[in-house]
């Protein structure tokens, strides 16, 4: 019984002498290979060449600082709750007197980890954060040999200090973030102050 009308009848006629030496099929195959030789290549020579990412590309997370270089994260845990992959863990600590230049608010993340093997780069942590403390950058997590290398700690995620290393800070911020949040004290950063 035929289930559809699309069944193709198999041609069972004996092969001709030309077909038996497969020359015609080899020529057909080679012509397809050669036609691709002149077409635009879909592959690139990574890492020498890098693709331009889409504007909406979501890459490696960055823990943000304010313009004074203070950590913005208050360890509220909203990103961890929003994360569908349960990739984020943190430990909160209380800011001590004299640490005002390090942390923006009274509470901060003493430990902050993201498991990149779990992360699906959905961006929900960025959306959940009320402090603009985490965002997904335009770079991606590099390859690693061990599973432990994919557990990114706070030191790996924190953006460089805007005053101590303004160039690295601006680079880590990325064009998308710079456009979305114009740099405060941009003139100061230009001068490297």
Distance (Å, whole) CA 102 – CA 98? 9
Least distance to ligand SF4 from the beta carbon of 133, Å?
Answer: 4
Binding track over 18-57 against ligand SF4, x by CB under 6 A: ----------------------------------------
* 85 touches 118 (CB < 8 A): yes
Query: Widest CA span of the chain, in angstroms?
Result: 93
| Cβ proximity to ligand SF4, 87 vs 169, nearer residue | 87
Contact segment (CB under 6 A) with ligand SF4 among 120-128, 152-160, 163-171, 177-185 equals: 120-128
65-84 residues near ligand SF4, rule: CB under 6 A: 73-79, 82-84
Binding track over 93-112 against ligand SF4, x by CB under 6 A: ----------------x---
Structure tokens at 59: 């890459």
126-165 residues near ligand SF4, rule: CB under 6 A: 128-129, 131, 133-134
Contact segment (CB under 6 A) with ligand SF4 among 27-35, 47-55, 121-129, 167-175 equals: 121-129
* DSSP structure class, residue 70: -
Residue with tokens 């102050």: 193
Indicate which single residue of 57, 93, 95, 124 sits in contact with ligand SF4 (rule: CB under 6 A): 124
Helices (H), 4-113: 17-20, 23-37, 78-82
Q: Are strands 61-63 and 134-136 parallel, antiparallel or unpaired?
A: antiparallel
Rg of the Cα atoms in the chain: 27
Burial 64-90 (b: 16+ CB within 10 A, else e): bbeeebbbbbbbbebbbebbeeebbeb
Indicate which single residue of 125, 159, 172, 173 sits in contact with ligand SF4 (rule: CB under 6 A): 125
Least distance to ligand SF4 from the beta carbon of 69, Å?
Answer: 16
Note whether 173 binds ligand SF4 by CB under 6 A: no
Indicate which single residue of 59, 69, 123, 149 sits in contact with ligand SF4 (rule: CB under 6 A): 123
* 181 touches 72 (CB < 8 A): no
Paired strand residues for 113: 89
Residues that bind ligand SF4 (CB under 6 A): 73-79, 82-85, 87-88, 90, 109, 114, 119-125, 128-129, 131, 133-134
């Amino acid at each position: 019984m035929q289930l559809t009308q699309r069944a193709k009848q198999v041609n069972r006629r004996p092969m001709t002498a030309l077909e038996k030496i497969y020359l015609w099929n080899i020529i057909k195959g080679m012509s397809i290979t050669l036609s691709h030789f002149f077409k635009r290549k879909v592959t690139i020579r990574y890492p020498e060449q890098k693709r331009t990412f889409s504007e909406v590309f979501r890459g490696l997370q960055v823990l943000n600082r304010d313009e004074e270089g203070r950590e913005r994260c208050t360890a509220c845990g909203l990103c961890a709750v929003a994360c569908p992959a349960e990739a984020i863990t943190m430990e909160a600590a209380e800011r001590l007197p004299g640490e005002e230049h390090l942390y923006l608010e009274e509470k901060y993340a003493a430990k902050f980890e993201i498991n990149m093997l779990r992360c699906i780069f959905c961006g929900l942590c960025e959306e959940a954060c009320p402090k603009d403390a985490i965002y997904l950058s335009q770079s991606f997590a590099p390859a690693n040999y061990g599973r432990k290398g994919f557990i990114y700690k706070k030191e790996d995620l924190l953006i460089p200090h805007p005053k101590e290393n303004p160039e690295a800070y601006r680079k880590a911020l990325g064009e998308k973030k710079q456009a979305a949040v114009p740099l405060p004290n941009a003139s100061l950063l230009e001068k490297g102050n």
